[in-house]
Structure 1
Amino acid sequence: MSAGTPDGSGEAEQVEQLARQAVGEVTGMAKEIEDAKGPRPVPMAELSRPGANGGVEAIDLLSDVNLQVKIELGRTRMVVEDVLRLNAGSVVELDKAAGDPVDIYVNGRHVARGEVLVLNESFCVRVSEIVDPVRREERA
């Protein structure tokens, strides 16, 4: 029994009040922790909007850049002895059949495939397929 009250109810009341206060504080802390875990806005500076032709103007900056474009008809492997025997009229067999698509490289990167044509007595290539960027990386 408590010294202040003959039946100890004052002490029980204090314990109960302290327990309620502790529960309230723990609940408040749990709420703060939960709020801290969730998404919250991050202040960011306002971005300036490009003009209506912003993308076109950016591309125009690159219009004078020279790129190296190569068309690959096919590949083969040869031993040095066979290379040394090459002369005018020699035939080198490639790994592709006539009519197969040729590979188009820009600055050393495989970007497309196409078919060989003749236009005004000059060879040219009609692009038939743009190579998927994922497959470009696999081939490199």
Structure 2
Amino acid sequence: MDNPVEHSDKTHPLHNIPIEVSVTVGKARPLVRDLLQLAENAILPLDSKIEDPVEVYIGDRLIARGELQEVDGAEPGQLAVRLTEVAHDKGDLS
């Protein structure tokens, strides 16, 4: 018996449902009092560097890691993620 997951059917109705993908570039843990003092143009330091990989999530599930880059031929400044690691099985990227 054929495995239906192995035979991708492009006409399957689920293929046209959009999902939201989030990209995390870093985290900050400021005190609430410091957040309340932030104003326009304030800088909030993150726990990562520019060259560090970003994490790609669907919901709260980490599905990939990658590098930020600017999209060629798109609107100037348009960001994208070049995937460098992709989770294929549960628990691949921890």
- TM bin, normalised by shorter chain, reads 0.7 to 0.9
Equivalent residue for 2:40? Answer: 88
Is 2:63 the partner of 1:111?
yes
Tell me how far 1:59 sits from its aligned partner.
Answer: 7.5
Helix, strand or coil for the counterpart of 1:55? coil
Instruction: Give unmatched runs, 5+ long, in structure 2.
Output: none
Give the whole-Å Cα distance in 2 for the aligned partners of 1:117 and 1:97: 14
CA offset digits 1:11-69 (Å, max 9, x no partner): xxxxxxxxxxxxxxxxxxxxxxxxxxxxxxxxxxxxxx45xxx8323882321122110
Equivalent residue for 1:24? Answer: none
The higher radius of gyration belongs to 1
Aligned length: 88
Structure number with the higher helix fraction is 1
Quick one: percent identity of the two aligned structures? 27
Structure number with the higher strand fraction is 2
Helix, strand or coil for the counterpart of 1:57? coil
Instruction: Give unmatched runs, 5+ long, in structure 1.
Output: 1-48
Scaled by the length of structure 2, the TM-score of the pair is 0.77
Scaled by the length of structure 1, the TM-score of the pair is 0.54
Root-mean-square deviation (CA, aligned residues, Å) is 2.7
Alignment equivalent of 1:129, drawn from 65, 85, 88: 85
Equivalent residue for 1:97? Answer: 49
C-alpha contact 1:116 1:126 (8 A) present in aligned 2: yes
Alignment equivalent of 2:30, drawn from 45, 64, 78: 78
Report 1 or 2 for greater relative contact order, CA contacts < 8 Å, sequence distance ≥ 6: 2
